[in-house]
Structure 1
């Protein structure tokens, strides 16, 4: 008898629409369920693939909004896509990730035809601290789950709980033996924004997100992704995690996550 092979990616492709989750997707709120970051990345990947088969003119994903409809077991998932608004320069696509026929994630993505606006590049968003100005940390000290153990090198400067600058260099691919764009690779990581600087100990208060909305100026470049993150809790069980995303060249976009704040009894 031989030992089962150690997974090398978050998913294995079965066929055109089905993918088998590996043990590396284990979640932070429940280690027996999928962390939603990898399946979000899978949705983005399949949406981009679908667009590429339709359009002779490549477009860039500029906004991705994802609704989290429920928990996702570590099992086979199916991803289907459709076009909501076709166009030669702008397209709105939709994707659904399901488990055993039950939708778990629904995404809508705007894609745009690119053009040269390099002469207009500029932003007043604050810069991230450099890699040399942040300390290496182990996110598994605060969070359980296999996915958190796979996120690679993490460096953080925390101003206070709920406010921090974090650099992450992921090192596990989304799919076995299949090229994935820099954008889909980013999407497979960004949901971690809600956990990089908890306002409170997650063992005493749960604050899972109901959704994720990503806006992008451009695809990321290089290995490192920066998170300039602020977590806010309201007085009636609502919360918001707001993040400006960076790579080593500067800001690349923003992420917003709606939280449901649930103190443990």
Structure 2
């Protein structure tokens, strides 16, 4: 099995079995097959939004070739349930340029566009600018612990098992009282499998796999009774994270009209990497 995990590591005793050896298998240059590692908690025949977002970013980056460009902003729209199985990625350059370039991509499955993305790529050059801004220092990586999933939901969903979370604060629990106050979830996450089988996973891709969990990890309403569905994901990246562990500091806010927003600060051990934002539909199930 080609996976990021080391099954001989002592902390592996805290982890569930991997659902697959990767999120996708490449069938040809632009076609992929999803695996059980992409499974959504709501319907195992659909994909969680994180892996498709990362796959679109990967295909966008592949179009840059050797140009010194990095994704500085990406907006991903989920245009309906994302079916499991075979999918095709189409990429289109919207605005050319050596210093700033805009590229769009879409994921087609079962004859329709299921996910669409638009990214701004920004030129990079070591030493071109001074580092500025207030330093961001995340808390230390906690020790390994038993994994926690959404209360009262089937814990066998593939995407959930493909990630290792380490909570800085106490995670949600079945018996936790409803807390509608200003709650911040602080945790570290690690992607346990590659994005594409037998291919290296870029640091920004790992960041996007995790970023779409912002609304889930910070939700304050019981998931078996409430929907807080994000129709998309927006990520602004100062830089890609370094190393396997990524820190998220996430909050969700809901409003009486049935709308909400989830947002997260994303960092690694060296400091700030970027921000994620999601609009929310909030409604009783």
Which of 173, 177, 185 pairs up with 1:164?
185
Instruction: Report the CA distance between 1:185 and its aligned residue.
Output: 2.1
Which of 77, 81, 87 pairs up with 1:77?
87
Whole-Å separation in 1 of the counterparts to 2:251 and 2:150:
20
Q: Which runs of 4+ in 1 moved over 4 A?
A: 158-162
Map of 1:107 onto structure 2: 117
In 2 relative to 1, CA 125–244 (structure 1 residues): closer, same or farther, beyond 3 Å?
farther
Matches within 5 A, 1:1-265: 7-52=20-65, 56-117=66-127, 120-124=130-134, 126-132=136-142, 136=145, 138-142=147-151, 143-144=153-154, 145-158=157-170, 162-264=183-285
Whole-Å separation in 2 of the counterparts to 1:125 and 1:196:
24
Contact 1:139 1:148 in 2 (8 A): no
Whole-Å separation in 1 of the counterparts to 2:135 and 2:258:
29
Question: Which TM-score applies when normalising by structure 2?
Answer: 0.83
Whole-Å separation in 2 of the counterparts to 1:253 and 1:117:
19
Map of 2:3 onto structure 1: none
Aligned residue pair count: 255
Question: Which TM-score applies when normalising by structure 1?
Answer: 0.89
Q: Secondary structure at the match of 1:261?
A: strand
Whole-Å separation in 2 of the counterparts to 1:111 and 1:28:
32
Mean CA deviation greater in 173-182 or 91-100? 173-182
Contact 2:203 2:240 in 1 (8 A): yes
User: Please, which runs of 5 or more residues in structure 1 have no aligned partner?
Assistant: 1-5
Mean CA deviation greater in 115-124 or 102-111? 115-124
Whole-Å separation in 2 of the counterparts to 1:119 and 1:112:
14
Q: Secondary structure at the match of 1:165?
A: strand
* Bigger proportion of residues as helix: 1
Whole-Å separation in 2 of the counterparts to 1:85 and 1:138:
43
Whole-Å separation in 2 of the counterparts to 1:139 and 1:98:
33
Contact 1:239 1:261 in 2 (8 A): yes
Contact 2:195 2:201 in 1 (8 A): yes
CA-atom RMSD in angstroms: 2.0
Contact 2:241 2:268 in 1 (8 A): yes
Q: Deviations over 1:215-249 (max 9, x none)?
A: 01111101111111110001111010010101111
